[in-house]
């Protein structure tokens, strides 16, 4: 091999190595989102719930207050409680979106969303409901998430909250035994 070819080969390899280092370095600033596939007795799309949690070293779910018909899951990141998730089987005459209207206002700029039988997406939380049959009785299932501060871009956060509800509502209903 001529010296010119060897020089060109070394230059190309050096350039590829530098490009590889730069690509690897771009992800070094902030930890990756958590991958949570199961917590508090519920299954999750690991890519969705993790993107709604702040970045950190450790996520610990707590379901101390969960009971049958009432999923309660609080996610603590690096020892600080951050995001709360609640699922409830409620009577069909209850109007959760009306009852929680002030809560959704407090969570910032609530807007309706076409999920289940009704939903509201706010800047820092969301809620959706769907009619179902629970132990032979007509009921409805309500899924709510709050305390969401990530991602920092509010438009992206609201999009992820909507995507999370679309994905999680049928899963949570099924796990609670609430059939559409």
Angle (nearest 5°) at CA 87 between 97 and 99:
20
pTM: 0.80
The pairing of strands 137-146 and 42-43 is unpaired
Dihedrals phi, psi of 116, to nearest 5 degrees: 55, -135
CA-to-CA dists, residue 45 to 10, 65, 82, 149, angstroms = 44, 22, 18, 19
Dihedrals phi, psi of 44, to nearest 5 degrees: -135, 155
pLDDT in tens, the chain (180 residues): 444 443 333 433 433 333 222 233 334 567 888 888 888 888 888 888 899 999 999 999 988 877 777 888 999 999 998 899 999 999 999 999 998 999 999 999 999 999 999 999 999 999 999 999 999 999 999 999 999 999 999 999 999 999 999 999 999 999 899 998
Q: Report the distance separating Cα 84 and Cα 70, nearest Å.
A: 13
Element (H, E) at 71: strand 70-77
Q: Are 158 and 123 in contact (CB under 8 A)?
A: yes
Cβ neighbour number for residue 157 with a 10 Å cutoff: 22
Q: Are 144 and 72 in contact (CB under 8 A)?
A: no
Greatest Cα pair distance in the chain: 85
Peptide bond into 74 cis (omega under 30): no
CATH of 33-179, one of 3.30.160, 1.10.3210, 3.30.565, 3.40.1000: 3.40.1000
pLDDT at 124: 97
């Amino acid at each position: 091999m001529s010296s010119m070819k060897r020089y060109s080969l070394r230059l190309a390899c050096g350039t590829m190595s530098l490009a590889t280092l730069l690509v690897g370095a771009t992800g070094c600033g902030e930890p990756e989102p958590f991958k949570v596939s199961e917590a508090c007795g519920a299954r999750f799309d690991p890519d969705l719930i993790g993107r709604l949690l702040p970045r950190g070293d450790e996520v610990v779910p707590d379901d101390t207050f969960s009971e049958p018909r009432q999923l309660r899951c609080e996610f603590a990141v690096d020892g600080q409680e951050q995001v709360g998730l609640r699922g409830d089987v409620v009577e069909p005459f209850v109007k959760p979106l009306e009852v929680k209207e002030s809560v959704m206002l407090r969570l910032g700029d609530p807007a309706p969303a076409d999920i289940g039988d009704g939903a509201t997406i706010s800047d820092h939380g969301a809620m959706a409901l769907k009619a179902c049959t629970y132990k032979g009785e007509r009921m409805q299932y309500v899924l709510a998430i709050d305390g969401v501060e990530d991602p920092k871009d509010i438009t992206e956060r609201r999009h992820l909250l909507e995507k999370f509800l679309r994905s999680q509502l049928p899963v949570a209903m099924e796990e609670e035994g609430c059939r559409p």
